[in-house]
Structures are given as structure tokens and as C-alpha cells.
Amino acid sequence: MAAFTQATAPDFLSRYGRRRWTVIPATYLVAIVGCGLTIVPLLFVVVDGFRTNGDINNSPAGWPHPWVAGNYTSILTSAPFWQFLGNSVLISAVATTLTLVLGSMAALALSQYEFKGREFFYTVFVSGFLFPIGVGALPLYLLLQRLGLLDNQFGVAIPEAAFALPITMIILRPFLRAIPGELRDAAMVDGASRFRFFVQILIPLAKPALITVGLLAFVTSWNQYLLPLLVLQTSSHFTLPLGTYTFQTQYSQNDAGIMAFTALAMVPALGAFVFAQRYLVAGASGAVKG
Amino acid sequence: MSRSTALNAGLGPAATEDSVAAGPLRRPQWRGPKLRKKTELTILLAPGLILFVGFVLIPIGIAAYYSLFNWSGYGPLNDYIGFKNYSYAFKDPAFIQSIEHTLYLTVASVAIQGPLAIAIALLLNRKFFGRTFLRTVVFAPYVLPPAVTGVMWSLILQPGGFADQVFKAFGLGGLVQLWLANVHVVLFTVFAVLTWQYLGFGIVVLLAGLQGIPTELKQAAAIDGASPWQVTRRITLPLLAPTMRIWGFITVIGSLQVFDVIWILTQGGPAGSSSTISTYMVLEGVDSTDFGFAAAIAVILFAFCFVFALIYQRYALRRDTRGALTRAVG
């Protein structure tokens, strides 16, 4: 450490100096180990999906011998997988839309208006952050029964949107408040109505935060397990996580089939993530600059 | 037009006489009848509020009410038993055990995942070949459904399965355990799987926090002769503290409520050795159709979260709630 202390100042300005030779190898070591620990289990599931059950029993950690695509094709050509996928897409899309629309409306009310009780309403929303969906799950079940939403995809999506509102408010309200008041003044002086100011100026400016909030709501809904488990009863209404676990318990002897199903169940989440990662990281890293 | 008003007009919006009189600090407001403001507010606020109150607060309120009854979930709600569900819960050693497990997992999550995530985030917060790829990979487990992760790990960890073979391949065959069936090991296994799933979240949140720290500060310190370690210790970490506090809050609340992964790996077993408050609630309440009891457990779980949040708010978050929240996730 001390050896390169003095050389550091100019090096720091050129960004990489001698530091590079001490820190970069450590970075790569951590990078490789981290990558390995993350990817190997995922690869294992994908690769084992190409094996036969006999092959897996013979050598649990070996490469497929021979490679068979039958596990994947039989899942992809049967109805349940696509039903689960469709249900997951429907539920997550409805939950995300509801969260975004109602959440941003409420955040506008709590950030752009001065009124008595504003902080109270904000606290009410934020307090929801403490409620696990598990606490409300049972009465929610009875409520949905009364509303005729039991075993219905909307019966999952609507409560999920409600439970996503706290984090939405926590992110959106400070973001909207941080937008300089001068913009508001300028819009007003130029004769824009309040509504027009919201729609044409605030919402576009809040896009990074809205994307973050939307992604969070989508991922949370997509990954939700307990609520669909309680609310959905017919297997044709199941979501992908619920369906995966059901598949595992139903075909507990068919390891290769479970592997293939699990691998396929990961594809949408990982695919969407690779596509949206740019937004997620951009959103997370100080969107206020936007 | 006199000279002074012309000057005022040149200065911008505060051109009319009365807004000048109102003082330069007061922002102009949209004018309109009060009724209109109220209508706008109602239209904006009511839908979200109704959704939230109807599907979050009321069900939880009802849960608190049901917890005072002996009720199977069907039939009339008429067997009022006061706080018996609660006293029964606290007399049940299995419940006490599930609280202990939950607390272990929570403390371990903060004490082990925290420093690990900070260290990795610090290492990754520099330009190097493959950084974007690595960031993607590290964050990936977080977006996988916990239920799917659970199924995956239960396959990997089955006796004689992939995990065991990997240990043997590295000459560590002696360490092989019945990962999910040994009552002394299963909690560690569960924690390892949880770390696999959630470490990436911490890393990405902290990386975002690190990127919010102006490089000028670090450069200035470096020019003043600070070593890289001093820069990290005296500048980077203190400025990262708000992000860390928020990460800690999310992690603790999440750990107290952990359910999915454990439910699929072990259902809290064997013999309750990996139970948490949530798995106990589902096992003893929902699956045994003792809904009043399940509601009591739910209320206790909420109390844990609430007490923690109050303490945390009082001692850790108070300084920077708003700023940190926006910096961490928005």
C-alpha cells in the first residue's frame, strides 16, 4: 500500500496508473469467481435438461450423453407451459399498468399540490412497505371470494398492484418533488394548464423513475408465489413460478423433465432482464440527473 | 410604462405589481376556484388510495380482527377467544424456533451479504473489460422467480446430486452433507441459496450509489496525497452510507418475511429445523385450516417488521430518508 501512495495522485488523474496492476487482477479474480458461482448452477439446469433420466442417475455432474432435445420439445409442444407463461404475462402486465397509472397520479397529487393532510397520506402509503403480502393474504382471499375474483388472474394482479404502491410512492414522490419549481413557473407563465404541465413536462421528465418503478412492479409480480398459490386453483390459471413447482411435485421422478421445465421457466425473466438491464441500472444510478 | 416595471418585465415571470409585492420567494400558483383544486386532487389521489386501502390496509385490519377468534376459515366467526391464539403461539416451541431461525437469517443477511456486496461493488466500480457483462450476470439471480430458484437448488442439492459431485471433484468429498435433510446443516444451506439469489441486488444498488459519488471528490483527495485505501475509507464509504442504510432496511424487512425459497426447498423442515415465521404461518395456520391462528402469526410478523422499522427510522434513517431513498432506487 504505502509503496505507491506517493505515486497515486498523478496516477489517479490519468485514471489508471500503477494501481491497475494491483487492483485489476483482484477485480478479475472476484469477477470470475462471481460469474462462475452465478452461471454454473444456471448452466447445470439448462444442460441437464438435454439429458435422459438414466444418464442423470449414472453421473449427476456429467455432460449429456447423448444429447436429447426431447425434454424441451415435449414441454414446448404441450399446452401447460404456454398457459402458465400467458397467465404470468397477463397478471404482470395488468399489475404493472395499474401501479404505474394509479401510482403516478397519486404521486402527482402528493408532490404538486399544497394541502392539509398531504404528509399524512404519504405516510399511509409508505407504511404499506412494512406489510408483507403474507400478512394480508388470508383476509385477501376472503375479500376476493366475495368479489368473485377467486381463481381469477385479476384477483392476483389487483392486490399485487396495491402492494406495489408503497415502493412506487417512495421512489416517485421525491423524484417529482426534486424537479425544479422554475419549470413549473415557466409552464404557468407560458399559459399551460396544470394538467398540460403534468402530461407534457412532468411525466416525460420522470421517465427514468417511471421505468424503474414499472420494472420493479413487473419483476415483483412476475416472481410472486404466495398470492397465486392461495388465489389460483385451476392449473390452467397458474403462473409460471406456481406451475414450475407444481410440475416438480407432479413429475418428481422425472429429473430431466423438471430441469428442462425449470430452465424454460427462467428464460422469460432472464431474457427480459437482459433487454431491460440498461434501464434498470440507468434508473437506479441517480436518475435525478435525467 | 415606467422604467422600473420594464425592468421587472425583463426579469421574468414576476412582472405584475401584486406578485412583486408578494415577495420574490413565493412561487406563483395556478389560480382557480378552490373547488377545482379539490376535484383535481380527488381524481388524482382517490383511485390509488382506494386500491391501497381496499387491498392492503383493510385485509390486514381484518387479519388483526380474525386473530382474536378460533376460526377454521369456514362457517360463522363466533368463537371469540381473545388473545389465546397469541399465547398459544408463544408457548409453542416450534414457533419460538421459527422466530430464532428468522432472526438468524436476518442477522446473517446483513452481516455477511452486506460487507460482501460492498466489497464486490467497490471492485466492480471501475472500468475494466467485461464490466457490463459481469454486472448483468451478477444481478441476474435477483430477477429469477424465487420459486424457480428453489426448484433449481433442490435439484442441485439432492443427495448424490450436482453439488456433491462438485465437492468431490475438488477433493472436498468429506464435506458433503445431506444439505437439505440434516437438521444441523439445512439452515446454512438455505442461507447460501438466499445469498445466491439476493447478493446481486445489493451489489447493483450499491454500485448505483457509488456512481452517484462525484469523482472530483476522490480526485481532490488523491491530489492531496490520500492513498486509495484512505480515499475509500474516508470519502467513498461515508458517502455510500445512505445507500447502505437503505439496502439494510430492504434486506431486513425482506429477511423477516422470507418464504418462497425456503418453502420450496424444505417447507421449513426437516422437523422445523429451517422454519421461519412465514413458513410456520402457512404450515400451522393455512394448511391446518386454523385461520384465526394464522392471522395471529401474521400480526406477530407484522409487529416484528414494525418495531424494527420504528427503531431503524429513529436511529439510522432519520438523517437521510428522502435523499437516500431516491438515491438508492430512483
Domain ranges of chain B: 3-66, 84-329
Residues of chain B with Cβ-Cβ distance to A238 below 8 Å are none
* Interface residue A55 vs chain B (CB under 8 A): no
* Interface residue B295 vs chain A (CB under 8 A): yes
The separation between CA B322 and the C-alpha centre of its own chain, rounded to angstroms, equals 16
> Same domain, yes or no, for A62 and A99?
no
Residues of chain A with Cβ-Cβ distance to B301 below 8 Å are 132, 134-135
Q: Which of the listed residues A43, A71, A99 is the one where a domain comes to its end? A: A71
Q: Shortest Cα distance from B183 to chain A (angstroms)?
A: 23
Q: Contact A17/A8 with Cβ under 8 angstroms?
A: yes
Beta bridge partners of B69: B80
Q: Which of the listed residues A71, A103, A128 is the one where a domain comes to its end? A: A71
* Interface residue A2 vs chain B (CB under 8 A): yes
> Same domain, yes or no, for A96 and A174?
yes
Rounded CA separation A25/A206 (Å) = 40
Do B148 and A281 make contact, defined as CB atoms within 8 angstroms? no
Rounded CA separation B318/B313 (Å) = 5
Cell of residue A287, nine digits = 436518475
Q: Shortest Cα distance from B294 to chain A (angstroms)?
A: 8
Rounded CA separation A150/A152 (Å) = 5
Q: Contact A50/A71 with Cβ under 8 angstroms?
A: yes
* Interface residue A255 vs chain B (CB under 8 A): yes
Domain with residue A192: its CATH number is 1.10.3720.10
Chain A residues 140-199 with CB within 8 Å of chain B: 140, 142-143, 158-159, 161-163, 165-167, 170-172, 174-175, 178, 181, 184-186, 188-189, 193-195
Domain ranges, residue A99: 73-289
> Same domain, yes or no, for A150 and A283?
yes
* Interface residue B178 vs chain A (CB under 8 A): no
Residues of chain A with Cβ-Cβ distance to B309 below 8 Å are 129-130
Rounded CA separation B265/B187 (Å) = 11
What does DSSP assign to residue B176? -
Q: Which position has the grid cell 425473466?
A: A269
> Same domain, yes or no, for A15 and A150?
no
3-state secondary structure (DSSP) of residue B46: helix
**3-state DSSP percent of chain B in helix, strand and coil, to 5:** 70, 0, 25
Chain A residues 86-105 with CB within 8 Å of chain B: 98, 102-103, 105
Which residues contact residue A153 at a Cβ distance below 8 angstroms, ignoring those fewer than 6 apart? A87, A90, A91, A94, A232, A237
Q: Which of the listed residues A71, A100, A124 is the one where a domain comes to its end? A: A71
Residues of chain B with Cβ-Cβ distance to A115 below 8 Å are 37, 41
Residue B2: what pLDDT?
A: 37
Distances in Å between the alpha carbon of B228 and those of A23, A88, A92, B122? 10, 48, 45, 12
Number of structural domains found in chain A: 2
> Same domain, yes or no, for A194 and A256?
yes
Do A1 and B165 make contact, defined as CB atoms within 8 angstroms? no
Complex ipTM: 0.81
Q: Which position has the grid cell 452433507?
A: B177
> Same domain, yes or no, for A166 and A281?
yes
Q: Which residue of A has its CA nearest to B57?
A: A128
Residues of chain B with Cβ-Cβ distance to A288 below 8 Å are 326-327, 330
How many H helices and E strands in chain A? 15, 0
Task: Pick the closest to residue A102 from B60, B56, B234 (CA basis).
Answer: B56
What does DSSP assign to residue B264? H
Per-residue pLDDT of chain A (290 residues; tens, 9 = 90+): 334 444 444 444 444 444 555 667 777 888 888 888 888 888 888 888 888 888 877 777 778 777 888 888 888 888 888 999 999 999 999 999 999 999 999 999 998 888 888 889 988 888 887 777 777 777 788 788 888 888 899 999 999 999 999 888 888 888 888 888 888 888 888 888 888 888 888 888 888 788 878 888 888 898 888 889 888 988 888 999 999 888 888 888 888 888 888 988 888 888 877 777 766 665 554 433 32
* Interface residue B40 vs chain A (CB under 8 A): yes
Between helix B146-156 and helix B162-169 the angle, nearest 10°, is 50
Rounded CA separation A170/B178 (Å) = 43
Q: Shortest Cα distance from A237 to chain B (angstroms)?
A: 17
The string of pLDDT tens digits covering residues B48-85 is: 999 999 998 888 888 888 889 888 877 777 788 888 88
CATH fold group of domain B84-329: MetI-like fold (1.10.3720)
> Same domain, yes or no, for A103 and A242?
yes
